[in-house]
Amino acid sequence: MLLMESTDSIQADRWKAPFFTIWAGQAVSLMGSGIARFALIWWLTEETGSATVLATTMFFALLPQIVLGPIAGALVDRWSRRRVMIVADAAIALVSLWLAWLFWSGSIAIWHVYLIMLARELGGIFHWPAMQASTSLMVPKEHLARVSGINQAMYGALNIIGPAAGALLLAILPMHSIMFMDVVTASLAIMPLLVIAIPQPPRAARPEGARPSMIAELREGIRYLFGWRGLVIIVAAAMLFKIALTPAFALLPLLVKEHFGRGAGELAGLEMAAGVGTILGGLLLGVWGGFKRRIATTMLGVTLIGLLMLAFSVLPPALFSAALALMLLIGASAALVDGPLFAVLQGSIAPEIQGRVFMLFGSLVTLTSPVGLLIAGPVTDLAGIQVWYVAAGLLCLLTGIAAFFMPSVMNIEQRQAETQTAPGYASDAALGSPLAQSEPTTR
C-alpha cells in the first residue's frame, strides 16, 4: 500500500519537471528584458527629461496589445503554442540585437526606441497568451492558484534583479553590451521549448471542412467574455482606473529625477522595493491561497493600491525612504490582485479558447491607457506629476470598495462554473488530464 501511494505521488508530480524547466527559461529571458528595459528608460530620462517622450514610449509599447491582441489570441488558439513561443522569443532576440547594433554604431535615435518597443511588444502579444494557456494545460487545476502565486513572486524577484543589475551595469558597461545581454537571455528561453512537448487542447469533432474561420473563432471569444457579466464589470473598472494608473508608473523615472531629485540608483531602489513587495505578496498567496472567493483577494488588493497611491501622492521630496516603503506595499498588493484573478480565469475558461479570451481581456483593460499617456505630457506640465498618483489612488480605492457590493463580481467563479462552456468545443470534463494530450516533439 505504501509503495502504491508513493507511485501515485510520483505520477501526480510528473507535470513539475517539464513545466518548471520551461518556466525557468522564461524567467531568465524576463530578467534580461528587465535589465534592458531599465537601462533604456533611464537613458531616455537622462537624454530628454521629457514626460512626453516617456509617455510616448509607453504608448508604443501598449499599441500592439490594443490593436492586435484579440487577433493574436485567436491565432494562438489555432496554432501550436510551443512553436508560437519559440518564434516570439526568436523575434524579440533579433529586435534586441538590432538595438544593440544601433547603440554600438552610435546611430540610435528616439524614434528607433519607439519602433523597437513596438516590435518587441508585437512578439509579446503572441508569447504571453501562449504561455498562459499552456500553463492551464500543464498544471493541474488544484495547483493553478499556487503556481500563480509563484509567478507573482518570480516577477517580484525580477523587479529586484532587473533594476539593481541595470543601475550597476549602466555604470560599468556601454548600452550596446547591456542590450546584447537581452539577446543571450532570449536565446536561452528557446532551448527548453525545442525539446519539451506542450499539451494542445483537443477540439470537439466537426464534420470535414467545418472548422470555423479565425473571425468566427474570434467572435466566439468575444461572446464568451461578454456573456460573463462579472468579468465585464471588472474589465470596465480596470479601463477606468488605468487612465491614471498607467501614466503614474510610466512617469516614475521623471518623478524620481524631478520631484525627489535623485538618480538611477534611487529609481532602481523604488523598482526593487516593488519587487520585494511582489515577492512577499506572491509568497503569501502561495502559502495562504487567498480567500475562498479568490476575487475577494483581488479586490482587497485593488483597494490597498488605492490607499497606498494616495499616500504616495503627498510625499515631500525629503521623504524618499517613505516612498520606498510605500512602493514595497504597492508591490505586495499588486500580487494579491493579479495572482487570484488569473487563477480564476485559468481555472474557469475552457483551455481551447484561453488564447482568445486572455488577449481580448488584456486588450480591453489596456484600451484606455493610451488616453492617459497621450495627455500625460500637457497635464504634467500644467498640474504637476503627482496629480496622476492622486487620480489613480481615488479610482482604485472606489473600484475596490464598490466591487464588494456587486454580486456579479463577488460570485464570478460560481456564475461561470454554472453557466459557461466554450461554444462549439469540448467541455472541461471531456478534456481529461492535461498531460494525456501532448504535442508531438517532431518539428
Asked whether residue 439 is domain-assigned, the answer is no
pLDDT band at 4 (very low <50, low <70, confident <90, very high): very low
**pLDDT tens column, 107-123:** 999 999 998 888 888 88
Mean pLDDT for the chain overall:
80
pLDDT band at 416 (very low <50, low <70, confident <90, very high): low
Give the pLDDT confidence score for residue 151 in this predicted structure. Answer: 78
* Spatial distance between the Cα atoms of 246 and 170, rounded to a whole number of angstroms: 26
Burial class (CB in 10 A: 0-12, 13-18, 19+), 239: middle
What CATH number has the domain bearing residue 135? 1.20.1250.20
pLDDT band at 12 (very low <50, low <70, confident <90, very high): low
pLDDT band at 46 (very low <50, low <70, confident <90, very high): confident
Question: Does residue 9 carry a pLDDT above 50?
Answer: no
Question: Does residue 105 carry a pLDDT above 80?
Answer: yes
Give the pLDDT confidence score for residue 302 in this predicted structure. Answer: 93
| Long-range interactions of 293-297: CB distance < 8 A, separation 24+ | 293/410, 293/413, 294/145, 294/340, 294/341, 294/343, 294/344, 294/413, 295/230, 295/340, 295/341, 295/344, 295/403, 295/409, 295/410, 295/412, 295/413, 296/404, 296/410, 297/336, 297/339, 297/340
Asked whether residue 443 is domain-assigned, the answer is no
Question: Does residue 197 carry a pLDDT above 70?
Answer: yes
The enclosing H or E element of 141 equals: none
Give the pLDDT confidence score for residue 415 in this predicted structure. Answer: 53
Question: Does residue 422 carry a pLDDT above 50?
Answer: no
Asked whether residue 95 is domain-assigned, the answer is yes
Asked whether residue 98 is domain-assigned, the answer is yes
* Spatial distance between the Cα atoms of 223 and 217, rounded to a whole number of angstroms: 10
Give the pLDDT confidence score for residue 76 in this predicted structure. Answer: 78
Give the pLDDT confidence score for residue 2 in this predicted structure. Answer: 42
More confident residue, 337 or 441: 337
Give the pLDDT confidence score for residue 211 in this predicted structure. Answer: 61
Contact 211, 78 (CB under 8 A): no
Residue 304 contacts by C-beta under 8 Å, 6 or more apart in sequence? 329, 333, 336, 400
**pLDDT tens column, 200-243:** 766 554 555 556 677 787 788 888 888 888 889 989 998 988 88
Question: Does residue 350 carry a pLDDT above 80?
Answer: no
Question: Does residue 398 carry a pLDDT above 90?
Answer: yes
pLDDT band at 281 (very low <50, low <70, confident <90, very high): confident
Instruction: List the single range of 23-32, 105-114, 148-157, 284-293 with lowest mean pLDDT.
Output: 148-157
**pLDDT tens column, 54-104:** 888 888 888 887 777 777 777 777 788 888 889 988 988 899 899 999 999
Residue 189 contacts by C-beta under 8 Å, 6 or more apart in sequence? 25, 26, 28, 29, 89
* Spatial distance between the Cα atoms of 54 and 429, rounded to a whole number of angstroms: 48
Asked whether residue 437 is domain-assigned, the answer is no
Asked whether residue 432 is domain-assigned, the answer is no
**pLDDT tens column, 296-344:** 999 999 999 999 999 998 999 999 999 999 999 998 998 888 878 877 8
Total domains in the chain come to 1
Record the pTM. 0.69
pLDDT band at 3 (very low <50, low <70, confident <90, very high): very low
Asked whether residue 378 is domain-assigned, the answer is yes
235 closest CA partner among 362, 397, 336, 420: 362
Residue 306's Cα: distance from chain center in Å? 20
Asked whether residue 173 is domain-assigned, the answer is yes
Q: How far is CA 267 from CA 35, 137, 257, 258, 323, in A?
A: 13, 38, 8, 12, 11
Question: Does residue 289 carry a pLDDT above 50?
Answer: yes
Contact 138, 198 (CB under 8 A): yes
* Spatial distance between the Cα atoms of 403 and 101, rounded to a whole number of angstroms: 49
Find the domain containing 310 and state its range.
17-200+214-424
**pLDDT tens column, 365-380:** 888 888 888 888 788 8
